[in-house]
Amino acid sequence: MSGSNPDHRTINAGQSLADDATRLDGLAKATGAARYSRDHLREDMQWVRLIRCPWGKATLESLDRDAALAVPGVTEVVISGDAGDYDGDSIGYLVAESRRALERGLDALDARWARAECKTSIFDDARVRAPIGETEGDAADAIEASDFTFEATYSTPVQTHSSLETHGMMIEPDGEGATVHASTQGTFLVADQIGRFLGKRRSRIVVDCEYIGGGFGSKFQIGKEGAAAGLAAKRSGGPVYSFCDRREEHLDTGNRPSLLCKVKLGHDADGTIRGARIETFGGTGVSRRGGGARIPSGRFDLGEIDGRNHQDVQFNAGGPRAMRAPGCPQGAFVEELMLDEIAHRCGIDPLALRRRLDDSERRGAMYDVAARLIGWSERPDTGSQDGPMRTGYGIATCDWGKGRAPAKIEVVVHPDGHLEVRTGTQDVGTGQRTAMGAVVAERIGVPLANVSVAIGNSRLPSGPASGGSVCTPSTAPAAMAAADLARDRILADVAERDGLDPTTLRIDDGVVKSGDRSIVRWEDACKRLAEPISVMGEFDGRPNAYWGDGSSEGVQAARVEVDCETGQVFVREVVAIQSCGLPLVRKPAESQIIGGVIQGASYALFEEQILDPATGAVLNANFENYKVLGAKDCPKIIPVLWRDGQTGARALGEPPVIPTAAAIANAVFNAIGRPVRDLPLRPDRVLAALAEPVPERIATATTTKTEVRA
């Protein structure tokens, strides 16, 4: 597994609360015992599937509803529309008693469609193809006053979420109530949304999502598949199962939108950027919003910016949803590659230019470590290599905000010494279950083996959805508060029984101590309880004593090899340095960084949704033709947890995916001497770049106004 070399993990020793803890649900997931929402099957349940348009834009001419209802096992056909605006757009749903009946019923519908002219790309819009607009305000003056101007256009593709577990839910009505097994990033969001489709009160609905197969931002809403399940369950009064198949997952469950970015900037011979005009166009499919990109990021001094020039562009495809660090990987790719291009033209090491433009002291220290671990001193001069195989090095950065939300955590102390941590928040794979257990165990002073964690159920204490990387930073303070209350209750009881001052007592590795003297084992202290005690820790979303200090800054460095005969890019190594405040559990924290790099490298090299320009049909709505990073494509990944004295848990889920594609693109630029300004870095694009002239450098003695266009 990439990143598993213990020689590189020693750098993380002692950085987290629980360095040696293993995921509490690791065995269940590895053995298949973990029961995901898709695994909730009943013999008496009904199956639901949406009826979808197969073209980019089409009108329904006919369908045979009676023939579908005549199929044995088909119980309902609901038609709610007669036109589709993209491949996968839904016009109704079909309900059947078995999967086979469902498939036969959909075939029997024999839907006939009349295709219409459609738009299939962001480039179908004339605004995107037009030259960059005139710079206005202070940015125009700054560019005019600079020694050189530079123009370039960059693009990124539509990237689908490709969650391991597809979107959907299984609903089990029970009289006035219902249990909903949902694949969701928000336990309580589903509880709030599904009731109006079921026709049941919110208080009578229980949402269960103990295990979730990923979401990356796409599973905040119940979706069309959930709404159809709710309506079908309301009508039948029985259990209903509605999950997308893999093709539907690619078509209609959201995506990271495409981006086109035009840049015109002015810079001096030493690399100082005086000002820039930045125009961005987000490809949002049929949606009218959601295509923004974070550029400028604010991490670099780019002078005066004329940057409020964003437009969302519609075409006939499914709309975007939030996707891991929305807008940030796109913006980082543009900004970081742009910086490397300026550095090359000015004859400056791109790392040196970043040090000058980036005023973060924390990232400044990270640059040193990243350069050492990746071997930056071996980096060849950009464009200096010959031969078919060339090596390149690139670097890029990230940061994230300090979002937070209210959360509650309950801790139950049982007379046998067992601690039960209870939280309704879900675990989308980040390790929330383990993190909460580790926080409580460490705070009280007992081994993690004493702790179990109940999670992902709306009957449990409320907490935030897994979005914006706010979940762990918000639940950790609540868990700390609950642990302190539970510990103090036990210590107060010990002090009363043994005539001791409770302020002198502590619990160390499961033993109550006063100074160096052992008083009683944890389990024996708990045996004195007449019944379990329950305490509730709360975090109201405002910084408090448990919030602590912390940030989510990061630096990544990549080393690649490029085959200049085939255009293939091989990512050999990525150093990923990431602060997340106080890391709670080392292994899941490292895993989050590794996962972000894997997803970012996949974005850099392979992922793009492809539409047929004639029909609007998605041509690669599967894992055969929609390429993702495979085991042999995966680089060696060195995750570095950057503690730096930070005391409060901060975001870790999203920041590690931001810089990876940019660092890889910069490494390719370094290797071949020409920038590849469009993701993914396909072989044809690399070969096309190699056919271009090598960008000329600007002599530092030049003072005459010079325009450098690309």
What DSSP letter does each residue of 329-349 carry, written as one string?
Answer: HHHHHHHHHHHHHHHHHTT--
Average pLDDT of the segment spanning 575-596? 97
Largest separation between any pair of C-alpha atoms in the chain: 86
Which of the following CATH numbers is that of domain 255-401+550-709: 3.30.70.1140, 3.30.365.10, 3.40.50.150, 3.40.605.10? 3.30.365.10
Q: How many CB atoms are closer than 10 A to CB 298?
A: 9
Which CATH number is associated with domain 407-539? 3.30.365.10
Residue bearing the bigger pLDDT, 136 or 471: 471
How large is the angle between the packed helices 187-198 and 223-236, nearest 10 degrees? 50
Nearest to 8 by CA among 574, 399, 650: 574
Task: Give me the percent of the chain exceeding a pLDDT of 70.
Answer: 97
The overall average pLDDT reported for the chain is 96
pTM score: 0.96
Q: Is the pLDDT of residue 280 over 50?
A: yes
Predicted pLDDT of residue 699: 63
- What are the start and end residues of each CATH 3.90.1170.50 domain in the chain? 38-117+167-243
Q: pLDDT at position 102, please?
A: 98
- What is the tally of helices (H) and strands (E) in the chain? 18, 28
Q: How far is CA 272 from CA 147, 148, 473, 703, in A?
A: 10, 10, 37, 14
Q: What is the pLDDT of residue 683?
A: 98
Beta strands in 474-622 (DSSP E): 505-508, 511-514, 517-521, 533-539, 554-563, 569-578
Percent of the chain surpassing pLDDT 90: 96
- How do residues 246-267 score in pLDDT, each as one tens digit? 999 999 999 999 999 999 999 9
Q: Cβ(614)–Cβ(117) under 8 Å? A: no
Distance CA 175, CA 258 (A): 46
From-to residues of CATH 3.30.365.10 in the chain: 255-401+550-709, 407-539
| pLDDT, tens only, 633-684 | 999 999 999 999 999 999 999 999 999 999 999 999 999 999 999 999 999 9
DSSP state of 551: -
Can you tell me the mean pLDDT for 429-451? Answer: 97
What CATH class is the domain 38-117+167-243? Answer: alpha beta
- pLDDT per position as a tens digit, 510-544: 999 999 999 999 999 999 999 999 999 999 999 99
Question: 8 pLDDT band (50/70/90 cuts)?
Answer: low
Confidence band, pLDDT 50/70/90 cuts, at residue 708: very low
Residue 164 has pLDDT above 60, yes or no: yes
What are the structure tokens assigned to 610, written together?
A: 């492809």
Structure tokens at 282: 């987000």
**Band of pLDDT at residue 696, cut at 50, 70 and 90:** confident
In the prediction, which pLDDT does 82 show?
97
In this structure, the number of other CB atoms found within 10 A of the CB of residue 702 comes to: 11
State the virtual CA torsion across 333, 336, 338, 344 in degrees, nearest 10. -130
Distance CA 62, CA 111 (A): 6
